[in-house]
């Protein structure tokens, strides 16, 4: 009987195991994970930290689900070594597993900067359910969140909801620096500040203060007292296993895979946060660690490991974040990614909503929205096709044309006003 082994039980590994099972009903599908529990969603950990949802709602599967689906799962089990030539995985209980096909879905780990004092008690991160449990157990009242990506913002808001006083420290010139240009990032910052979350931009954390327990952080500008410090400055692919098998990495540092999610080794596929992929919209290669990408990559890798020939269409990097009752979303390039002479921008600001469109050579290359985020999804197709809007907007008067460009309604005049449209 053919053995298909999957390392990792995150969404990528989970989808891969299910897809392999479906594609080859006769194979033995074995999933190995160092997690002590079945699949859960990292995306809602902040909702659990805040108390909006109970702990059990974080889980997406029970151990019985795997039995029902015919997947063997080995939990609390780490793969410590790998012999690709012999097709063997070595486990931490000294057991071995021989496989015919292998799927690496080892995900990512938070990057913890080598700051003086990071080892102190009360310095945490948010990646796993364990991290969230720890955060919920800590006693105290003031927290410093270092890093203002989506996870940093969600964590700050979650702790604020629980009654903590929260400060957010960001090295760059705005919050959510990879998602929004400065005007929209400033609006979001005001939203945080109006609720009492302090935001410090362009500040570098130099040291974590305290004895055994953390008592605060020192930045290049000030000292901020804190009972809890959350370091959420980014994720890195978990490559421990990949390196043992000498998998080739891409320029961005993720595992290099082809369009079938195959690695450079025969009989080895990879998927999820640990791989490098191509952004569907910008065409750039990179690490696009999103739930939807991990899920689809998992499906492709799992099916192909079991004999199919599915293709991964590229990563769809539309990021949607919501806090304090409002949603915001971003896709594609920011105007700050382009030179000032290249970028054209349309900015619409209403009472509770804001819309920002980035154009280059009369083509939409990015979109950002606060509130009414549905327009952002509607623009992905237009960005992908790279259409010259001069044609589309002026000549496109048929209904089906209009349907295609529905998110641009109400923007015709702004588009025409941009000098190049005349």
Partner 1 sequence: MARIMVVDHELCTGCRICEIVCSVKKEGASDPSRSRIHIVTWDMEGIYLPMLCQHCEEPLCAMVCPVNAIHRDKSLDRVIVDEELCVGCRGCVSICPLGGVGFDINERRVFRCDLCDGDPTCVKYCEAGAIQYIDIDQVQVSRWRTTARRLAAAV
Ligand X SMILES: Cc1cc2nc3c(=O)[nH]c(=O)nc-3n(C[C@H](O)[C@H](O)[C@H](O)COP(=O)(O)OP(=O)(O)OC[C@H]3O[C@@H](n4cnc5c(N)ncnc54)[C@H](O)[C@@H]3O)c2cc1C
Among 165-173, 187-195, 221-229, 285-293, which window interacts with ligand X (CB under 6 A)?
A: 285-293
CA atoms within 13 A on the CB side of 287: 21
At closest approach, how far in Å is the CB of 188 from partner 1?
15
DSSP character string of 106-159: --EEE-----TTTTSBTEE--SSHHHHHHHHH---SEEEEE--SHHHHHHHHHH
Which C-beta is closer to partner 1: that of 24 or that of 154? 154
Intra-chain end-to-end CA distance of the chain, in Å = 67
Which C-beta is closer to partner 1: that of 145 or that of 369? 369
At closest approach, how far in Å is the CB of 39 from ligand X?
8
The reply to whether 42 sits near ligand X by the rule CB under 6 A is: yes
Query: What x/- string results for residues 63 through 82 when contact with ligand X is judged by CB under 6 A?
Result: ---------------xx---
Helix 291-305, helix 11-23: angle, nearest 10: 30
Check if the beta carbon of residue 61 is closer than 8 Å to that of residue 14: yes
Among 28-36, 93-101, 254-262, 304-312, which window interacts with ligand X (CB under 6 A)?
A: 28-36
Check if the beta carbon of residue 364 is closer than 8 Å to that of residue 345: no
Which C-beta is closer to partner 1: that of 115 or that of 158? 158
Which C-beta is closer to ligand X: that of 32 or that of 146? 32
| 116 contacts: CB under 8 Å, gap ≥ 6 | 206, 207, 208
Report 197-256 residues binding ligand X (CB under 6 A). Answer: 238, 240-241
CA distance 303 to 300: 5
At closest approach, how far in Å is the CB of 33 from ligand X?
4
Q: What is the CA radius of gyration of the chain?
A: 23
| Token output for 43 | 């995306």
Which C-beta is closer to ligand X: that of 316 or that of 338? 316
Please identify which residue in 292, 348, 385, 386 interacts with ligand X, judged by CB under 6 A: 292
Which C-beta is closer to ligand X: that of 282 or that of 315? 315
The reply to whether 287 sits near ligand X by the rule CB under 6 A is: no
Check if the beta carbon of residue 242 is closer than 8 Å to that of residue 7: no
The reply to whether 289 sits near ligand X by the rule CB under 6 A is: yes
Alpha-carbon distances of 284 from 64, 159, 314, 316, rounded to whole Å: 40, 35, 10, 12
Which C-beta is closer to partner 1: that of 271 or that of 290? 290
At closest approach, how far in Å is the CB of 339 from ligand X?
30
At closest approach, how far in Å is the CB of 322 from partner 1?
5
Give residues in contact with ligand X (CB under 6 A).
7-13, 32-35, 42-43, 45, 78-79, 105-108, 126-127, 151, 238, 240-241, 272-273, 289-292, 294
């Amino acid at each position: 009987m053919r053995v298909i082994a999957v390392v990792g039980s995150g969404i990528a590994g989970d989808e891969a195991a299910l897809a392999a099972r479906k594609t080859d009903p006769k194979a033995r599908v074995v999933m190995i994970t160092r997690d002590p529990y079945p699949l859960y969603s990292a995306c809602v950990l902040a909702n659990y930290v805040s108390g909006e949802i109970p702990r059990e709602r974080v889980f997406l599967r029970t151990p019985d689900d795997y039995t029902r689906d015919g997947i063997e799962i080995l939990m609390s089990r780490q793969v410590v070594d790998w012999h690709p030539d012999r097709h063997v995985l070595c486990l931490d209980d000294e057991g071995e597993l021989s496989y015919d096909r292998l799927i690496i879905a080892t995900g990512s780990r938070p990057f913890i900067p080598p700051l003086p004092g990071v080892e102190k008690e009360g310095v945490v991160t948010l990646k796993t359910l364990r991290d969230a449990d720890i955060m919920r157990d800590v006693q105290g009242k003031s927290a410093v969140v270092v890093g203002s990506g989506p996870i940093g913002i969600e964590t700050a808001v979650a702790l604020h909801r629980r009654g903590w006083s929260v400060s957010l420290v960001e090295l760059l010139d705005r919050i959510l620096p990879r998602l929004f240009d400065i005007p929209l990032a400033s609006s979001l910052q005001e939203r945080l500040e109006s609720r009492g979350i302090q935001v410090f931009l362009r500040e570098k954390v130099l040291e974590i203060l305290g004895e055994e327990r953390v008592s605060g952080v020192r930045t290049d500008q000030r000292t901020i007292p804190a009972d809890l410090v959350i370091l959420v400055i980014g994720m890195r692919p978990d490559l421990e296993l990949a390196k043992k098998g000498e998998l080739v990495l891409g320029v961005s540092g993720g595992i290099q895979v082809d369009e079938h999610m195959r690695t450079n080794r025969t009989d080895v596929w990879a998927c999820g946060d640990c791989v490098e992929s191509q952004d569907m919209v910008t065409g750039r290669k990179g690490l696009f660690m999103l739930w939807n990408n991990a899920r689809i990559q998992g499906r492709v890798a799992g099916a192909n490991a079991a004999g199919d020939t599915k293709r991964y269409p590229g990563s769809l990097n539309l990021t949607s974040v919501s806090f304090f009752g409002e949603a915001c979303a971003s896709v594609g390039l920011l105007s700050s990614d382009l030179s000032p002479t290249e970028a054209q921008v349309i900015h619409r600001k209403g009472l509770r909503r804001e819309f920002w469109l980035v154009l280059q050579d009369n083509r939409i290359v990015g979109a950002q929205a606060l509130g009414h985020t549905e327009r952002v999804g509607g623009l992905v197709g237009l960005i992908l096709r790279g259409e010259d809007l001069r044609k589309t907007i002026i000549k496109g008067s048929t209904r089906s044309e209009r349907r295609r460009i529905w998110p641009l309604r109400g923007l015709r005049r702004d588009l025409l006003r941009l000098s190049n449209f005349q």
